[in-house]
Amino acid sequence: MSIPAAVEELAQRLGPRLSRAQSDRDLHGRSETHFAPMPPDAVAYPETTTEVAEIVAICARHGCPVIGWGTGTALEGHALATRGGVTVDFSRMDKVLELRAEDMLAVVQPGITREALNTELRATGLFFPVDPGANASLGGMAATRASGTTAVRYGTMRQNVLALEAVLADGTVIRTGTRAPKSSAGYDLTALFVGSEGTLGLITELTLRLHGQPEAVAAAVCAFPAMAPAVEAVIATIQSGIPMARIEFIDAASADAFNRASGTALPECPHLLVEFHGSESAVAEQSERFGEIVADLGGADFRWATKAEDRTALWKMRHGAFYAHKALRPKAAPLVTDVCVPISRLAEAVEETAADIAASGIPGPILGHVGDGNFHATLLPLRGDAAEFAIAKELAARMADRALRLGGTVTGEHGIGMGKLGYMAAEHGDAWAVMGRIKRALDPDGLMNPGKLVPGN
Amino acid sequence: MSIPAAVEELAQRLGPRLSRAQSDRDLHGRSETHFAPMPPDAVAYPETTTEVAEIVAICARHGCPVIGWGTGTALEGHALATRGGVTVDFSRMDKVLELRAEDMLAVVQPGITREALNTELRATGLFFPVDPGANASLGGMAATRASGTTAVRYGTMRQNVLALEAVLADGTVIRTGTRAPKSSAGYDLTALFVGSEGTLGLITELTLRLHGQPEAVAAAVCAFPAMAPAVEAVIATIQSGIPMARIEFIDAASADAFNRASGTALPECPHLLVEFHGSESAVAEQSERFGEIVADLGGADFRWATKAEDRTALWKMRHGAFYAHKALRPKAAPLVTDVCVPISRLAEAVEETAADIAASGIPGPILGHVGDGNFHATLLPLRGDAAEFAIAKELAARMADRALRLGGTVTGEHGIGMGKLGYMAAEHGDAWAVMGRIKRALDPDGLMNPGKLVPGN
């Protein structure tokens, strides 16, 4: 195994698009959260699938690790070069390759971001709904099985990736899935690659399901006197069958963070942020029924965002939550964690977590895509304070344990990366070993994003 | 390898629940369609997951093939014992183990049928939507990634199986997924097992997503003067964003078949069968908009099924299509095939197929879940007539080629089994070999449902 030999061969192949500059390596060795930097030995900037395949084949020949890179916004250290090697940065592969409005699908390269994609779609009457907080790349979103505020209505990346092209560990290029809306032709390799975090191969092209822009949209913010009735309102709304497009919970600390970051004037108490999509009459009906549920549970201070720009501001605020949270304690090294539980256990999961954080002394605002049973805590231990960091780690571990005890999962959308490897055995039992067997079958030398997701990797 | 030794050990373990009777072997060696019988050496009737694990472990030790069996209604020879061995019949594992209405999920054993499940759910206000024509078992439906008339609204088994328990080839029991609505914790093994056709293991428990029974339902049958405007109406409806719960196409021959089988009096021409789900006002609005599209395209003879029993009769008729088709030519050995294409290519796919069948001289009625781009032909060559059978095989092969040429898949919902193995290389290219690598990683001795789905199996 020789990383230097791989880097040398890649430099000859790619010229200036293989960077060994310290600044570039540092940039690709950092994460958004608390993980220590782990830079790669070099960063490659391919422009085509063929180049990606060549890069991977060269690395395979030299036993050099390969790590995919979208926008570097993963929260669990997914793209850190744990054993050095070459990071493949997809920023030059950021095109919409084909747009088939009549089939409601788009074929894109992995480096395009969700905002850039939706900008390109604007004139078509279609949109791509999956919206993690960051303006992430579609390749990264697929690799981490990302979701966001609209998953309650439109699904996560699991439901919205129809087909993929991927480069395997030996440089082979495969295609999974077709353009048909469904298929029962063999193993669902698309679903296997979505969420595989770059450990089985690199995604080089995605066929995405698009959705029609709704005829009418109504969004609102609504304040609650306490956490419990806000969460109960979510459960009641879901169970009443009102088709929410978005239903987000934020706690009092998050309201405060948004006021500081976005200049809003939300009362410092828990809120729900909601949105309805449909025909004019359907949206009116849904809004009215939701209003009744909220009123019954003591929700008040209902603010409707009727203009498109007000809604844009509302969701921009929500998508900026991580940065707003970080600004609450600028010297913190954030430990962001998410869990997901069955809807019926959401209230106890959120309340126990809030009480646990409150008792810890560490700031830790909570919010989440509660229509999915998914919520996040942004734990804010001071950078370099080992005692605080240990407390934050314990809080996160108890959140994960709590989610499992309640029948849920240790991560609803952030993924495993390095940060949650320690919970995989508890969540999956013997099924984790099955993931390891699949990994070894497709990447016997363990070169694709080592140190992530699978056992002993 | 010794099948007799495995059968002997199983007989000692299971007593009368291990059957070696010829009648039982014959029953489990037949398919609904044209495949030659291939009986297993014995049939096991387990009652618990532990027993299934013991059965599989015993078979593994003796190198004996293991084939899962639900209701035997697969259409591509999925459950035939190509190399003998032991068929595991799940009919004694047919319970609802847990029903969590507040989380809209049910935990069931694999042997329960879709109709039995919905009967048990009736009082809860919830239902399970996936409805292949046959009253299939949920385990079989998951194994074949089944869908049906409601997939256009509620998804296929891919979207409606939340978690699984499965017995692997060595007898290990694993659990995939949780009760949380979503997760990004590692490889999506649930999705990998859904559609794996028993080649990776046996499904012993399923956690299913349930849906709220709609407040209002409207169903209708509508006649068209020709195939083209009927298919165009489907495309226009989908693209206009009307949320159909069902939209089914039947050709003139199918209308005739239904009249004979169900005593209906449909005009002998193409029809659409549609259903809308939602609130009273939403259903009224959707019905009206659909009516306008149909009128523009020359649809007529609109019959609304306003009473619940009329709708039940309508969909019972539709679900009985395969048997109605068979009755058009009682001496036929049916070759039923399905393909799925992008919606924009549906019209040409259906019309070319219809013309091809018409020119062949073999009866072959067409119908389909056209909202998904999915349609079926029931080709009816005479049993024992080699020339007619060869013509039918060629028609099916051209349907598959056509679907691939139009960007689709060789099967939308029937699966691969033995019948479509020959198309896998054309559809998947190098990705088929990847399926083989996954298969060998989980079942190195190739004992789980041999001769199906994967290369060289």
pLDDT digit of tens for each residue in chain B (457 aa)?
A: 699 999 999 999 999 999 999 999 999 999 888 899 999 999 999 999 999 999 999 999 999 999 999 999 999 999 999 999 999 999 999 999 999 999 999 999 999 999 999 999 999 999 999 999 999 999 999 999 999 999 999 999 999 999 999 999 999 999 999 999 999 999 999 999 999 999 999 999 999 999 999 999 999 999 999 999 998 999 889 878 888 999 999 999 999 999 999 999 999 999 999 999 998 998 999 999 999 999 999 998 888 888 999 999 999 999 999 999 999 999 999 999 999 999 999 999 999 999 999 999 999 999 999 999 999 999 999 999 999 999 999 999 999 999 999 999 999 999 999 999 999 999 999 999 999 999 999 999 999 999 999 998 6
Paired with A174 in beta bridges are A166
Distance CA A102, CA A107 (A): 13
Report the pLDDT value the prediction gives residue A30, as an integer from 0 to 100: 94
Tell me the helices (H) and strands (E) count for chain B, helix number first. Answer: 17, 18
List chain A residues with CB under 8 Å of B174: 428-431, 434
List chain B residues with CB under 8 Å of A104: 239, 343
The answer to whether the CB of B380 falls within 8 A of the CB of B334 is yes
> Between B372, B403, B410, which is nearest A181 by CB?
B372
Q: With an 8 Å Cβ cutoff, are A185 and B416 in contact?
A: yes
Size of interface A-B (CB pairs under 8 A): 272
Determine the distance in angstroms separating the CA of B430 from the nearest CA of chain A, rounded to an integer: 6
The answer to whether the CB of A351 falls within 8 A of the CB of A399 is no
List chain B residues with CB under 8 Å of A184: 144-147, 156, 195, 409, 411-416
**B243: nearest CA partner in chain A:** A278
Q: What is the CATH number of domain A94-212?
A: 3.30.465.10
List chain A residues with CB under 8 Å of B428: 174-176, 185-186
- Nearest to A389, CA basis, from A420, A415, A364, A365: A364
Report the pLDDT value the prediction gives residue B238, as an integer from 0 to 100: 85
Distance CA B431, CA A192 (A): 12
Distance CA A95, CA A200 (A): 23
Residue type for position B371: G
| DSSP one-letter code for B332 | B
The complex's ipTM works out to 0.97
| End-to-end CA gap in chain A | 16
Distance CA B24, CA B446 (A): 24
3-class DSSP string for B194-210 = CCCCCCCEEEEEEEEEC
Paired with B195 in beta bridges are none
Q: With an 8 Å Cβ cutoff, are A180 and B147 in contact?
A: no
CA angle, A147 then A151 then A154, to 5° = 120
Q: With an 8 Å Cβ cutoff, are A187 and B196 in contact?
A: yes
> Between B189, B235, B434, which is nearest A431 by CB?
B189
- Nearest to A162, CA basis, from A134, A113, A128, A137: A128
Distance CA A93, CA A49 (A): 9
Distance CA A62, CA A56 (A): 10
Q: Encoding tokens for residue A421?
A: 């490897």
Instruction: Note if the pTM is more than 0.90.
Output: yes
Residues whose CB falls within 8 Å of the CB of residue B140, separated by 6 or more in sequence, listed in order: B68, B69, B70, B71, B73, B74, B110, B146
> Between A179, A415, A424, which is nearest B184 by CB?
A415
Pick the CATH number of B3-91 from 3.40.50.2000, 3.30.43.10, 3.40.430.10, 3.40.50.1000: 3.30.43.10
> Between B172, B184, B441, which is nearest A438 by CB?
B441
- Nearest to B333, CA basis, from B365, B394, B378, B396: B378
Taking CB atoms within 8 Å and a gap of at least 24, the contacts of A287-293 are: A287/A218, A287/A220, A289/A240, A289/A242, A290/A220, A290/A237, A290/A242, A290/A244, A293/A233, A293/A236, A293/A237, A293/A240, A293/A242
Interface test with A, best of B184, B204, B340, B423 (most A CBs within 10 A): B184
> Between A189, A278, A408, which is nearest B179 by CB?
A408
Determine the distance in angstroms separating the CA of A201 from the nearest CA of chain B, rounded to an integer: 12
Q: With an 8 Å Cβ cutoff, are A241 and B215 in contact?
A: yes
**B430: nearest CA partner in chain A:** A174
Distance CA A248, CA A273 (A): 5
List chain B residues with CB under 8 Å of A149: none
Pick the CATH number of B216-322 from 3.30.360.10, 3.30.70.2190, 3.40.190.10, 3.30.980.10: 3.30.70.2190
> Between B178, B188, B416, which is nearest A407 by CB?
B178
List chain A residues with CB under 8 Å of B374: 180-182
Interface test with B, best of A182, A286, A287, A288 (most B CBs within 10 A): A182
Residue A383, classified by CB atoms within 10 Å of its CB into exposed (0-12), middle (13-18) or buried (19+), is middle
- Nearest to B183, CA basis, from A200, A194, A237, A348: A194
Q: Locate tokens 């046996």: which residue? A: B202
Q: Comparing B3-91 with B329-417, is the CATH topology the same?
A: no
Report the pLDDT value the prediction gives residue B457, as an integer from 0 to 100: 62
Q: Encoding tokens for residue B349?
A: 């796919």
List chain B residues with CB under 8 Å of A427: 178, 185-186
> Between A105, A188, A344, which is nearest B191 by CB?
A188
The answer to whether the CB of B229 falls within 8 A of the CB of B186 is no
Residues whose CB falls within 8 Å of the CB of residue B358, separated by 6 or more in sequence, listed in order: none
* B455: Cα within 13 Å, side-chain hemisphere: 16
**B415: nearest CA partner in chain A:** A184
CA angle, B192 then B195 then B199, to 5° = 80
- Please report, in tens digits, the pLDDT of each residue of chain A (457 residues total): 699 999 999 999 999 999 999 999 999 999 888 899 999 999 999 999 999 999 999 999 999 999 999 999 999 999 999 999 999 999 999 999 999 999 999 999 999 999 999 999 999 999 999 999 999 999 999 999 999 999 999 999 999 999 999 999 999 999 999 999 999 999 999 999 999 999 999 999 999 999 999 999 999 999 999 999 998 999 889 878 888 999 999 999 999 999 999 999 999 999 999 999 998 998 999 999 999 999 999 998 888 888 899 999 999 999 999 999 999 999 999 999 999 999 999 999 999 999 999 999 999 999 999 999 999 999 999 999 999 999 999 999 999 999 999 999 999 999 999 999 999 999 999 999 999 999 999 999 999 999 999 998 6
Pick the CATH number of A329-415 from 3.30.70.2740, 3.90.1150.10, 2.40.50.140, 3.40.50.180: 3.30.70.2740
Give the class (CATH, top level) of B96-212. Answer: alpha beta
Distance CA B79, CA B31 (A): 8
Q: Encoding tokens for residue B434?
A: 């990847």
Determine the distance in angstroms separating the CA of A146 from the nearest CA of chain B, rounded to an integer: 7
Distance CA B72, CA B81 (A): 12
The answer to whether the CB of B437 falls within 8 A of the CB of B445 is no
- Nearest to A369, CA basis, from A145, A128, A156, A115: A156
The answer to whether the CB of B439 falls within 8 A of the CB of B454 is yes
List chain B residues with CB under 8 Å of A420: 185
| DSSP one-letter code for B214 | P
**Phi, then psi, of A287 in degrees rounded to 5:** -60, -40
User: Based on C-alpha coordinates, what's the Rg of chain B?
Assistant: 22
| End-to-end CA gap in chain B | 16
Q: Locate tokens 């959260």: which residue? A: A33
> Between A155, A183, A408, which is nearest B180 by CB?
A408
CA angle, B249 then B254 then B257, to 5° = 150
- Nearest to B268, CA basis, from B191, B365, B388: B365
Residue type for position A58: I
Q: With an 8 Å Cβ cutoff, are A430 and B156 in contact?
A: no
3-state secondary structure (DSSP) of residue B375: strand
**A452: nearest CA partner in chain B:** B186
| DSSP one-letter code for B441 | H
Q: Residues for chain B: how many in total?
A: 457
How many other C-beta atoms are found inside a 10 Å radius of the C-beta of residue B448? 28
User: Based on C-alpha coordinates, what's the Rg of chain A?
Assistant: 22
**B213: nearest CA partner in chain A:** A241
Burial A423-454 (b: 16+ CB within 10 A, else e): bbeebbeebbbbbbbbbbbbbeebbbbbbbbb
List chain A residues with CB under 8 Å of B279: 282, 285
- Domain coordinates in residue numbering, chain A: 3-91, 94-212, 216-322, 329-415, 420-457
The answer to whether the CB of A110 falls within 8 A of the CB of A139 is yes
Report the pLDDT value the prediction gives residue B110, as an integer from 0 to 100: 98
Distance CA A397, CA A311 (A): 35
- Nearest to B250, CA basis, from B337, B317, B329, B345: B317
